[in-house]
């Protein structure tokens, strides 16, 4: 009986080790694919849910994949942080274990992106505008043309539109994030704004 218990414990340890190793390989490969597909620059941190992991891997299907990237690369506007949750993620297990998944699919998802007022100010100045923006709790202040006035930031067709009550207005293109994301809404807080994201379903690599 004791030998049987020891054998079962040994098999359990081996299974857990294999599960851990497979998870590491898969998360690393998927992180690289997400970095490329969403234009994140470097690999994001990735957490893939599903138990038992090995069986999920063999099926090539996971209920959720969560990814987080700090300071992702951008063209005209630098985001501080992007968090994505993809649902019903499917891929070829062999390709993933080889580190080169080419057909990662998702049923969609959502997420958030954080944007600082310093980043908005820098983008405005890169456009040649002598202006600065300050985010407070639910309020926006715009300094432009030597004056200071209450303002607003809004999402409009893939752009961040900055305006003030004194007549200043400018539009900054938002990062496309690989064309997979729509910016759904914006909430202003102290020093930063949080953008709600909607992830479109389909194949990630385009």
All structural domains of the chain with their residue ranges:
2-69+77-104, 117-196
Q: Using an 8 Å Cβ cutoff, are 54 and 19 in contact?
A: yes
Torsion of CA 181, 185, 187, 193, to 10 degrees: 30
Torsion of CA 156, 160, 161, 165, to 10 degrees: 130
The number of CA neighbours under 13 Å toward the Cβ of 190 is 0
Q: What is the pLDDT of residue 19?
A: 53
Sign, CA torsion 174/39/35/158: positive
**Percent of residues in the chain assigned helix, strand, coil, to nearest 5:** 30, 40, 30
Cα-based angle 45, 46, 47 (whole degrees, multiple of 5) = 135
pTM: 0.83
C-alpha to C-alpha distances, 76 to 6, 155, 158, 176, nearest whole angstrom? 60, 15, 12, 10
Q: What is the pLDDT of residue 142?
A: 95
Burial of 167 per CB tally in 10 Å (0-12, 13-18, 19+): exposed
Cross-strand bridge partners of residue 3? none
Q: What is the pLDDT of residue 64?
A: 93
Low-confidence ranges of the chain (pLDDT < 70): 1-22, 50-51, 99, 206
Q: What is the pLDDT of residue 101?
A: 73
Q: What is the pLDDT of residue 51?
A: 66
């Amino acid at each position: 009986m004791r030998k049987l218990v020891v054998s079962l414990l040994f098999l359990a340890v081996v299974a857990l080790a294999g599960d851990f190793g497979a998870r590491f390989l898969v998360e690393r490969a998927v992180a690289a694919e997400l970095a490329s597909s969403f234009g994140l620059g470097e690999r994001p941190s990735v957490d893939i849910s599903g138990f038992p992991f090995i069986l999920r891997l063999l099926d090539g299907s996971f209920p959720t994949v969560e990814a987080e990237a700090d300071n992702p690369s951008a063209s005209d506007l630098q985001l501080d942080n992007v968090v994505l949750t993809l649902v019903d993620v499917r891929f070829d297990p062999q390709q993933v274990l080889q580190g080169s998944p080419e057909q990662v699919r998702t049923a969609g998802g959502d997420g958030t992106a954080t944007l600082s007022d310093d980043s908005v100010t820098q983008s405005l100045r890169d456009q040649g505008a002598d202006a600065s923006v300050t985010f407070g709790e639910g309020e926006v202040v715009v300094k432009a043309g030597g004056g200071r006035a209450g303002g607003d930031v809004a999402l409009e067709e893939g752009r961040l539109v900055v305006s003030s009550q004194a007549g200043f207005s400018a539009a900054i293109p938002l990062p496309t994030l690989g064309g997979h994301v729509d910016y759904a809404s914006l909430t202003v807080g102290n020093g930063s704004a949080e953008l709600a994201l909607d992830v479109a379903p389909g194949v990630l690599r385009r």
